[in-house]
Amino acid sequence: MSITSTDERIAPGYKWVVLSNTTLGVLMATIDQSIMLIALPDIFRGIHIDPLVPSNSFYLLWMILSFMVVTSVLVVSLGRLGDMFGRVKMYNLGFAVYTFFSLLLTITWMSGSAAAIWLVAMRVFQGVGAAMLMANSAAILTDAFPENQRGMALGINQVAGISGSFLGLVLGGILAPIQWRLIFLVSVPVGLFGTLWAYRKLREVPRRIGAKLDWPGNITFALGLVGIMVGITYGIQPHGKSTMGWSSPFVIASLAIGIGLLVIFGLVESKSEDPMFKLSLFRIRAFTAGSISTLLASIGRGGLMFMLIIWLQGIWLPLHGYSFANTPLWAGIYMLPLTAGFLIAGPVSGILSDKFGSRPFATGGMLVAALSFLLLELLPVNFSYLAFGLLLLLNGLAMGAFAAPNRAGVMNSLPPQHRGVGSGMNSTFQNAAQVLSIGVFFTLMIVGLSARLPSTMYEGLVNHGVQPKVATDASHLPPVSMLFAAFLGQSPIEHVIGKQELARLPKKDAATLVGNSFFPSLISTPFGDGLKTAFDFSIIACLVAAATSWMRGGKYHFKEDDLASIGNST
């Protein structure tokens, strides 16, 4: 193994070029991770498909989750390849791949199921490019910045990535009503600029030479993680007469096979000469504590975006006079205080962590995040927006205070030759936890809705003249269908009882059922029950993350003398 260093040949301003370019790349990737959430209604209308038909639920879920699943699976492997063949090369390629498939997403000429399959497939390949960017950006930054400025640099980069997830909501809400293709087309000129800029300006700094690609590790890890992700995705869908699919043989088999393959992966990696997932890095206390904290924090907040969107779109916005068709855009706008909190706290806490270390800020951030979830839980379902906005700001400040110092602490703890794979490992914990969190949040929410929604819906529909048989059928529809209807900016009641039944009712009753208050009032109480359980889960995850973060120890930067403690051979 040999390490080459070109630090002495890098101009003083180079680090700012690196920060600007990598922040642009990560921001672009994370914006596209969420931009579809708000744009889905316009996309499905544009390709002429009804996402709420049970047979089309595949397209609905995988348009949302395919990007996340791919980035979760590939970031470690692509970080490892960056260590082996050059982080800048992999990063540059990621920009080009991402831009190319963003363009292909805009030129869909088909309609119906064929168009939906095309979009899912292109999202998968777009996710490959995004994974290349995410896997190598933090390592390139760590190479370029001195120890006393890494917290600031990684803080800006990390917070840009997290806030991009929320900015995508607003951007999707603005562009999609104009033309749904614009949500993908907007990335193309930015991607072309970033690709050319990265190719011309970024340079390789220390990299690993002579390692071999760990095929058994890559294959078992990828298939194992995909199995778990697929199991979680289909676990929240109805199965047979059950409101969820956790008892489905397919879901059980997917989870069992995924877990089994990851166990095999651990055995393979422990014996590999050049492992993909360098297990010996877990001997570094700061890396282990930071990575576990990342996992727990992502589990605590990963499903939060979905719950807040459904809360706003399905209940609060309609109750305050917004039509269901306009709720997607306004949900994104009303969540901007969360983004503002990230943008304020991230860079500031990153700068301070350079001086005082990561532990006080990362730990404190998780404690304040737990407090913000507790206060959100105490809000009534039909809240005052001032209180809601302030709590979103507090949560954003807390998560930003955690994310930047925690990432800096992780990257500072890594040997230079393993920064790519270490960054990928940390990103895997973050991205995989987000998918897991979505499964957990939806499960808790559906359990809460299942207990009270059927009887409440039946009584409400019958009281407004709906035939008992139609009301019975509607009340036994899976609660997830109600959530998705609200999430997609559609009138849920019109969907569940049908236009024919609505036409039979007196105009006053029909107007009441599809109006702004009937459905929100119907689900407010059961939704609130499920929401409180979900927030309790987030509180516990954040408190455990705070404890784990404190265990990282004091301020620590890796030194070459520490190589012996983690094994010099790999």
In the chain, the percentage of residues whose pLDDT exceeds 90 is 18
What's the whole-model pTM score?
Answer: 0.80
Task: Please provide the DSSP assignment of 184-224 as one string.
Answer: HHTHHHHHHHHHHHHHHH----S-B-S----HHHHHHHHHH
CATH topology (fold) of 11-213+276-448+526-557: Growth Hormone; Chain: A; (1.20.1250)
SS3 (DSSP) at 242: strand
CA–CA separation, 548 vs 402, rounded Å? 12
User: If DSSP codes are grouped into helix, strand and coil, which group holds residue 388?
Assistant: helix
> Do 105 and 123 contact (CB within 8 A), yes or no?
yes
Query: 534 burial class (0-12, 13-18, 19+ CB within 10 angstroms)?
Result: buried
Report the pLDDT value the prediction gives residue 2, as an integer from 0 to 100: 37
Spatial distance between the Cα atoms of 272 and 479, rounded to a whole number of angstroms: 47
The dihedral formed by the CA atoms of 251, 253, 258 and 262, expressed in degrees to the nearest 10: 140
Q: Which of 409-413, 423-427, 531-535 has the lowest mean pLDDT?
A: 423-427
Question: What is the spatial distance between Cα 458 and Cα 272, in angstroms, rounded to a whole number?
Answer: 60
Mean model confidence pLDDT for the chain: 82
Q: List the one residue out of 339, 18, 302 whose CA is nearest residue 160.
A: 339
For 427-440, letters b (16+ CB in 10 Å) and e give bbbbbbbbbbbbbb
pLDDT of residue 1: 38
Of 256-265, 440-449, 502-511, the least confident:
440-449
Check pLDDT > 50 for residue 217. Answer: yes
Q: Is the pLDDT of residue 366 over 70?
A: yes
| CA 75 – CA 457 distance, rounded (Å) | 44
Extended beta strands in 354-461, E state: none
- Summarize pLDDT for 116-165 with one digit per residue, the tens: 999 999 999 998 998 898 888 888 888 888 877 877 787 788 777 777 77
d(CA 517, CA 526): 15
The answer to whether the CB of 141 falls within 8 A of the CB of 153 is yes
Buried b (16+ CB within 10 A) or exposed e, 194-213: bbebbeeebbebbbbeebee
More reliable by pLDDT, 323 or 209: 323
What is residue 322's three-state secondary structure?
Answer: coil
Highest mean pLDDT: which range of 32-41, 180-189, 419-428: 180-189
d(CA 465, CA 564): 77
